[in-house]
Amino acid sequence: MESVSSISAVSAPPPPPSLSSSSFYSHSRAQPPFTFLRNFNPRMEPLRSSSHVDATAKPKEAKLWGGRFEESVTDAVERFTESVSYDKQLYKHDIMGSKAHASMLAHQGLITVSDRDSIIEGLNEIERRIENGEFNWRTDREDVHMNIEAALTDMIGEPAKKLHTARSRNDQVLTDFRLWCRDAIDKILKSMKHLQISLVTLALKNDGLIVPGYTHLQRAQPVLLQHLLLAYVEEIERDAGRLVDCRARMNFCPLGACALAGTGLPIDRFMTSEALGFTAPLRNSIDAVSDRDFVMEFLSANAITAVHLSRLGEEWVLWASEEFGFITPSDSVSTGSSIMPQKKNPDPMELVRGKSARVIGDLVTLLTLCKGLPHAYNRDLQEDKEPVFDSVKTILGMLEVSAEFALNITYNRERIQKALPAGHLDATTVADYLVKKGVPFRTSHDIVGRAVALCTSKNCQLLDLTLDELRSIDTIFDQDVYEFLGVENSIQKFSSYGSTGSACVASQLHYWTKKLEIN
């Protein structure tokens, strides 16, 4: 039998499909039986090129797995278990995996080169038909895999029946799943970088602007706005790092693990793994088809990102209120009220705050789903896809609208500057002044506390106290204390690495503009 020396018969893996039109494959996914949920579609957006799923009544086709069955499944069971209505979006990943598998089978002498060529040619034609909206998706064929395999059999006959050699839907679905998650992470990472660029751009536009820093939502110390915005950039960088780590751990190939025990046929799992861009095959066939820890990790990373975005949203919602008045969103990122004509609401960021609950819930769904399952595959695992669809769709939307909002807000400098004197934001800097004069910090803390109490009784700021008034509290005060009073002086005194001092923030900005390649 003729063999091939490489996997060249497999066309180079196509560019990752647009994640906004992708969905996960599962070999047995539940579809809610309720009429109002039957057409629920968790995809990120409709696939323009795919045709309608044919659910019309017709004689039932024998299932590819139905050899030992004497009866067909009922209509209710078929409706409940079909998944092609949404997992058809995974067709590119499924076809990629099948091409790699067919080429490996030919290389190992398990099918002929002629069979391999027929299979790949047929799969190419099926892909073309799907993308042109000419493919007939059938619910009685259950899912994307069975639709493609059955259509391939209709098209090329016997060679198609050899494609499933040394492969189960268990390892096939996990291969598709990992490929989709890998592509999803790449898309999210791009959106994260876009948000970081938007935040750094916003920081660059507001050079030198001092804002109140808060703890317990009470005024604490003055900070540069740039410093505050860069805090979110740092958080998103760690979010991206979690996804990069997650991607590296998930990038191992289940294909060839079969149902759970592997196969006695002489396959080459390293060949298919390399062809699909994986690091290596998974070492243990049971682990390959039964664990979903890579999905839990993915959803956990998304949930942490969602919390960070929710906190950013909360801050902007607060600052856009009349009570703060620190920012004004443009009309292009605001909405109005149906009854109150004067309203201008920062609804996009309120929804960012709200949608974080969905992403957190998706993680909880996966954790709960998997917590009681014995090894290896269980039908429950068909429920692992939809939370991922929702998490990816939601986090991409949150990242996109947060970046859009950042590019369409104005900080109200005059309002912020008028608000700065309130709260004695320079008190800690004055305490540092006393420490530099040799006063123990706890003592200096008490001295400045008494100075603030005097200001409260006089309804003035620390900067307004005369030197005599300060010396009446403690004689250690001298004329040079006024170099530490006021928010502008206070900002200049911060010098520790990573602080809000002007020089420190300039260094941080330089780092991020270089890293993000911002001119």
Task: Identify whether 375 is a catalytic site residue.
Answer: no
Query: How far apart are the C-alpha atoms of 179 and 276, rounded to whole Å?
Result: 8
Task: Identify whether 3 is a catalytic site residue.
Answer: no
From the candidates 216, 332, 457, 496, give the one annotated as an active-site residue.
216
Among 176, 173, 152, 171, CA closest to 163? 152
Q: Which residue bears the tokens 């790449």?
A: 186
Backbone dihedral angles phi then psi of residue 280, each to the nearest 5 degrees: -170, 170
Which tokens is 368 given? 């709960």
- Buried b or exposed e, range 457-488, using 16+ CB within 10 angstroms: eeeebbbebeeeebeebbebbeeebbebbbbe
**Exposed, middle or buried: residue 259 (CB in 10 Å: 0-12, 13-18, 19+)?**
middle
From the candidates 8, 337, 495, 507, give the one annotated as an active-site residue.
337
Which ranges in 330-420 belong to alpha helices (H)?
347-370, 386-406, 413-419
Query: Which stretch of DSSP H or E encloses residue 170?
Result: helix 169-205
Contact residues for 377 (Cβ-Cβ < 8 A; gap 6+)? 170, 259, 260, 289, 290
Q: What is the DSSP letter of 63?
A: P
CA angle 494, 428, 509 (to 5 degrees): 25
What are the CA-CA distances from residue 289 to residues 191, 252, 257 (Å)? 31, 12, 7
Strand partners, 218: 215
Local structure of 102: helix, strand or coil: helix
Known catalytic residues are 216, 337
